[in-house]
Amino acid sequence: MYYALTVLVVTAHFTAYSYIEPFVQRVAGLSENFTTVLLLIFGGAGIIGSMLFSRYSNRYPAGFLVASIAALPLYMALLLPMANNPLGLSIVCVLWGIVIMALGLGMQVKVLTLASDATDVAMALFSGIYNVGIGGGALLGNQIITHVGMNEIGFVGASLGGVAVVPVHFSALCARV
């Protein structure tokens, strides 16, 4: 289940993230310099995501992953509404950067925990599946841009990410029983 969830979540993320640069420049109308800074803070926010993961994932293993997966579509859905507000768009990207890092780490830990007797194979599969999600997201984002419009990449990514919330929430509930 976690491999399928990885494909779904990573595809959702990269549907929007693969095209964040042209989105920021064409839809939000912001400069190339602003875009570069935005990508830098997005990446830097991953450090915060790593710190939050280190602090809270052991205390709330199921809840942390559910919260991360639930937050991801929210931030992608806010791309277009925040496009006319550089500060708002920056805050969304910081939060999105935090969540995607925490989510990636959480998924890796789940995979390693479930395959503790074959961690090398499990992580090799995880990496390959993650890359399928990257390619799938880039492909889907391209199709959205081509056939629907650049404005919609956040909403499509969010919709796909929202689908992931149901199985992970169900899995977390079952783990408590």
pLDDT digits (tens, 9 = 90+) for 51-62: 999 998 888 877
Query: Has residue 162 got a pLDDT over 60?
Result: yes
CATH number of domain containing 172:
1.20.1250.20
Burial group, residue 173, by CB count within 10 angstroms (0-12, 13-18, 19+): exposed
Give me the mean pLDDT over the 137-162 stretch: 96
Identify the band that residue 177 occupies on the pLDDT scale cut at 50, 70 and 90: very low
Do 172 and 65 contact (CB within 8 A), yes or no? yes
Q: Is the pLDDT of residue 173 over 80?
A: no
**Confidence at residue 168, expressed as pLDDT on a 0 to 100 scale:** 65
Tell me, what's the pLDDT at 176?
Answer: 53
Q: Residue 94's closest CA among 75, 118, 122, 116?
A: 75
Which amino acid makes up residue 76?
M
> 44 vs 2, which has greater pLDDT?
44
Contacts of 42 (CB under 8 A, 6+ apart): 20, 93, 94, 96, 97
pLDDT in tens, 4-45: 888 999 999 999 999 999 999 999 999 999 999 999 999 999
pLDDT digits (tens, 9 = 90+) for 89-127: 999 999 999 999 999 998 888 888 888 888 889 899 989
What pLDDT is attached to residue 71? 94
Nearest-10 crossing angle of helices 2-17, 61-77: 30
The range of the structural domain enclosing residue 83 comes to: 2-176
pLDDT confidence bin for 88, thresholds 50/70/90: very high
Structural domains in the chain (count): 1
What band does 67 get if pLDDT is binned at 50, 70 and 90? confident
What is the mean pLDDT of the segment spanning 151-165? 93
